[in-house]
Amino acid sequence: MITASVCTIGDEILIGQIVDTNSSHIARALGETGVRVTAMTSIPDDGDRIVADLDAALRSSDVVVATGGLGPTKDDITKPALARLWGREGWYEHAGQKARVISILHSRGLDVLDVNLQQAMVPEGCDVIENKLGTAPVMVFRFDAARYGHPATLYSLPGVPYEALGAIPDLIADIRAHYPLSDIRHKTLMVYGLAESALAKKIEAWEDALPPQLHLAYLPNQLTGVRLRLSAYGMEEAAAESLIEAQIRALRPLLGSYLYSEQDDTLQATIGRLLRGTGKTLCAAESATGGMISHLITSVSGSSEYYKGSITSYAAEIKEKLLGVEDEVIKTKGIVSKEVASQMAEGARKLLGCTYAVATTGWADKTGDEFEPAGTVWVAVSGPEGTRAARFQYKNGRERNIERFAASALNELRLYLENERQLADKEVTKQKSLIC
Amino acid sequence: MITASVCTIGDEILIGQIVDTNSSHIARALGETGVRVTAMTSIPDDGDRIVADLDAALRSSDVVVATGGLGPTKDDITKPALARLWGREGWYEHAGQKARVISILHSRGLDVLDVNLQQAMVPEGCDVIENKLGTAPVMVFRFDAARYGHPATLYSLPGVPYEALGAIPDLIADIRAHYPLSDIRHKTLMVYGLAESALAKKIEAWEDALPPQLHLAYLPNQLTGVRLRLSAYGMEEAAAESLIEAQIRALRPLLGSYLYSEQDDTLQATIGRLLRGTGKTLCAAESATGGMISHLITSVSGSSEYYKGSITSYAAEIKEKLLGVEDEVIKTKGIVSKEVASQMAEGARKLLGCTYAVATTGWADKTGDEFEPAGTVWVAVSGPEGTRAARFQYKNGRERNIERFAASALNELRLYLENERQLADKEVTKQKSLIC
């Protein structure tokens, strides 16, 4: 198997100024291509260290992907260090990247300075993948087998996260073109409402019976649930796809309505797909989630087609005045209750004139009250076929609880949209299975 | 200077399943204590690799901080590897951690299994720092100078981020107790409204004249602006504090109202401090920010004292119906305009009955319209002394633009609360300086 090291360069990482997210994105893309990442390191802005550490990485890996250290001020250190490691004296100007540098600066209304044009200068004999999003090019150094005992390639990517992310497809294409990678096929299923361990138990027998060419990975995330990735290694495309499809057919009934998407997806994007083009509209009424549900829904590009807006009724008086929650209900059932959540959803739906409304009321970090303990949220979804409510309880800190409340609400909305009937049956059991 | 390596253990990092945030927090805490982090690495769940990589790290550093690899399923690999590196055969049960394991499981309503009790077993001769937040203890291996040519300490922390974060103060205290660290004093100033480069230029002369015992660091963040950290190395406490205070006195007038806090802080926490105990209330009306302002305000614990709620008026009809924005104004001035932002703020303030309202209307990623281009946001703040509006333009993708819009709005609100008069003067110049 082809192996890789990922190296990030920059003092700002070693002093803890920034969290390195590039390594994770690069490692995931390499893994999905069939390249095994065996090491990740962060290196300070120090020429000797850059040369020594990349040299060691190239000795032990087929591919080394370095990011960072290429900003206009740091260029003095990193690029000469790469040239020193590469072992050739000369430099050349890359015409394509030079044109990009000029066009990028012009589009930002900035003058083109010498220091900017320097970014298009690269060591002799290195290949360039043009950076469409920034001024620093991706440099590719292909070392022959004489140097490290095996052919080794060093890729130098920009450190700015969105530029690094943008360069990943070209990086992967270049690796594919130069290394004999065994074919890998992936299929991703998105699951919400089961903790990773409960999910593993639920599909244990199915997983144990997987054919050896298939590998299953669990990738949990607080806001999107568990991403289940099934991969086929070293098979012909058609055979891999039919093998995967046969297994997915057996898996679907086990997952039931916990399965919300068969592509790499979020709950809010799934909700968008369910609503787009239907003419139906959505709104929200938030208390404990404080705006997060609305923020997640509107993070989907094109959400203005179906999303009209929301009321954050943080104060009880706003719940009463705008959403029509009854004071009597708050007093007798509690502000965190099925009844208040339901009245919030119904009130928002009426006030904002939407087909559907989702509402939350909960205790994110307070001590709770005589009706409900801290960590409890009531979620309600209201629509043409009535109002459904569900209760969830979590035991995290304030910020994580708010995220979980919001994700639970989006999932209830997704379930309502998918199948109102199914929801009613599961209301009671769900309350128990999700306490974690 | 005492040096450190930070090592994270876990396959989930190397396959890009999770982003490693522990390293960054640990590196920052070490740096603020005066320990220099010279390397960061991630190691797979492989016993031989763990032994070899930690051994190499101990050879080149005074302190090695390892996190992860200690979950109940992974314990089989990491702990024996640590024991092998340590070089002693026996194990002992740590009574304090055992009691914690039992109490933590009981509080979660779980049975105590053998596998849980195993977590309190540690290699003979290693010290334990009890983990208050989880079942895996912090193990401390103190190697004498004979082993690595210098006294070296290996700390093994749990990998769960909130447990690792919780263990950092004890880690730092232990390092302080065992290593001769020169005294470091820090003072942090929070600055919003100037890009890092513009800020550096503004305070260039001041920075160049800093006495050699003081060091300045810029820590930029999209949501909180630039964190300026001034550190004094190797000085007596009183002398350090008076030297820092003298420099801060000279710096304050240069920063003016860009300076929003003299502690490690956020805009929303600063707003909370300005409002708490005043009896004054706050609400929001969001369009382009889609709920994010409300989410940030309510992420502050205790915000329910002053925050009543918000209207997300994503659709134009909600702006008109609930907030009283005039159709004529939308048609003649554009939906993204000073006038619409102002009417939104005024409408929300009236509807929700609050002292202050903040509003946003903008184009996060659309192509814009004939009035305003993509990336533009108008922010308005309304209060007892009138309504103020400001325009900002950014050139990022949708998600980053939304974050910048929200932060700009919070900053305008902060400025309004601090000094309404000052705001009016800067309205025009700010528009230019913030285009980036």
- The pLDDT value recorded for residue A76 is 65
Q: Report how far residue B70's alpha carbon sits from residue B163's, in angstroms, rounded to the nearest whole number.
A: 12
**A16/B29 CB distance under 8 A:** yes
Side chain identity, residue B377: V
As beta bridge partners, residue B141 has B154
Residues of chain B with CATH 3.30.70: 188-261
CATH number of A3-178: 3.40.980.10
Look at the domain A184-261 and name its fold: Alpha-Beta Plaits (3.30.70)
pLDDT in tens, B101-150: 898 888 777 788 887 888 899 999 999 999 888 888 999 999 999 999 99
Q: A298, A335, A365, A367: best mutation site toward chain B, by most B Cβ within 10 Å?
A: A298
Confidence of residue B426 (pLDDT cuts 50, 70, 90): low
Q: What count of residues does chain B have?
A: 436
Q: What is the pLDDT, as a whole number, of residue A155?
A: 98
The backbone torsions φ and ψ at residue A39, rounded to the nearest 5 degrees and listed phi first, read: -155, 145
Residue A229 has what pLDDT? 87
DSSP for residue A305: G
Give the strand pairing for B63-67 and B152-157: parallel
DSSP string over A40-86: EEEE-S-HHHHHHHHHHHHHH-SEEEEE---STTTHHHHHHHHHHHH
| pLDDT (0 to 100) of residue A428 | 44
The number of angstroms, rounded, from the C-alpha of A133 to the middle of its chain's C-alpha atoms is 20
Largest CA distance in chain B: 83
Q: Hey, which residues does B37 pair with through a beta bridge? A: B4
Q: Could you say which of B21, B309, B322 has the minimum Cβ distance to residue A312? A: B309
pLDDT at B424 over 50: no
- The stretches in chain A having pLDDT less than 70 are 71-76, 420-436
Residue A309 in contact with partner chain B when CB distance is under 8 A: yes
- Residue B322 has, within 13 A of its CA and on its CB side, a CA count of 32
Name every chain A residue with its beta carbon within 8 A of the beta carbon of B197: none
The CATH number of A267-433 is 3.90.950.20
Q: Which residues sit opposite A255 in a β-bridge?
A: none
CA distance B291 to B321: 19
Phi, psi of B341 (to 5 degrees): -60, -45
Contact (CB<8Å) A19/B21: yes
* Contact between A408 and A378 (Cβ < 8 Å): no
- Cα separation, B7 vs B53, in Å, equals 9
d(CA B173, CA A66): 35
Q: Kindly compute the dihedral angle of the four CA atoms of residues B171, B173, B174, B176, in this order, to the nearest 10 degrees.
A: 120
Task: Count CB neighbours of B355 within 10 A.
Answer: 18
Nearest residue to B167 (alpha-carbon basis) of B143, B139, B127 = B139
Nearest to A411 by CA among A294, A257, A253, A290: A257
Q: Does B311 lie at the interface with A, CB-CB under 8 angstroms?
A: yes
What is the pTM (predicted TM-score) of this model? 0.82
Contact A298 B310 (CB under 8 A): no
Range(s) of chain B covered by CATH 3.90.950.20 = 267-433
Write the Ramachandran bin of B308: left for phi over 0, alpha for psi from -120 to 50, otherwise beta.
Answer: alpha
Confidence of residue B71 (pLDDT cuts 50, 70, 90): low
Predicted ipTM of the assembly: 0.81
Q: Which residues contact B54 (CB under 8 A, 6 or more apart)?
A: B7, B43, B64, B66, B82, B85, B154
First-to-last C-alpha distance (Å) of chain A: 39
Q: Say which amino acid occupies A318.
A: I
Bridge partners of A359? A285, A380
> Hey, is the C-beta of B387 within 8 angstroms of any chain A C-beta?
no
Average pLDDT, chain B: 90
Closest CA to B314 of A271, A407, A281, A412: A281
Nearest chain A residue to B46, by CA: A38
CATH 3.40.980.10 domain residues, chain B:
3-178
- Distance, in Å, from the CA atom of A133 to the CA atom of A161, rounded to the nearest integer, reads 11
**B293 touching chain A per CB within 8 A:** yes
A224 part of contact set with chain B, CB < 8 Å? no
B423, pLDDT greater than 80: no
- Name the segment(s) of chain A with CATH classification 3.30.70.2860: 184-261
Cβ-based contacts of B352 with chain A (< 8 Å):
318, 322
Residue A180 pairs in a beta bridge with: none
For the stretch B282-321, pLDDT in tens is 999 999 999 999 999 999 999 999 999 999 999 999 999 9
The tokens describing B277, both together, are: 């105990």
Q: Do B314 and A315 touch (CB under 8 A)?
A: no
DSSP string covering B142-168, please? EE-HHHHSS-EEEEEE-SSHHHHHHHH
Residue B18: its pLDDT value, please? Answer: 80
In this structure, which amino acid lies at residue B221?
N
Domain B188-261 has CATH 3.30.70: yes
Give the tens place of pLDDT for each residue, B339-366: 999 999 999 999 999 999 999 999 998 7
Helical residues (DSSP H) of B276-337, grouped into ranges: 292-298, 316-321, 327-333
Q: Looking at residue B422, what is its pLDDT?
A: 55
Contact (CB<8Å) B309/A315: yes
Candidates A286, A299, A314; nearest CB to B307 = A314
pLDDT digits 0-9 by tens, A90-133:
999 999 999 998 988 887 777 888 878 888 999 999 999 998 88
Q: What percent of chain B has pLDDT over 70?
A: 94
pLDDT at A432: 47
Residue B335, Cβ density class (10 Å: 0-12 exposed, 13-18 middle, ≥19 buried): buried
Tokens, residue B332: 């003649």
The structure tokens listed for B401 are: 């633009």
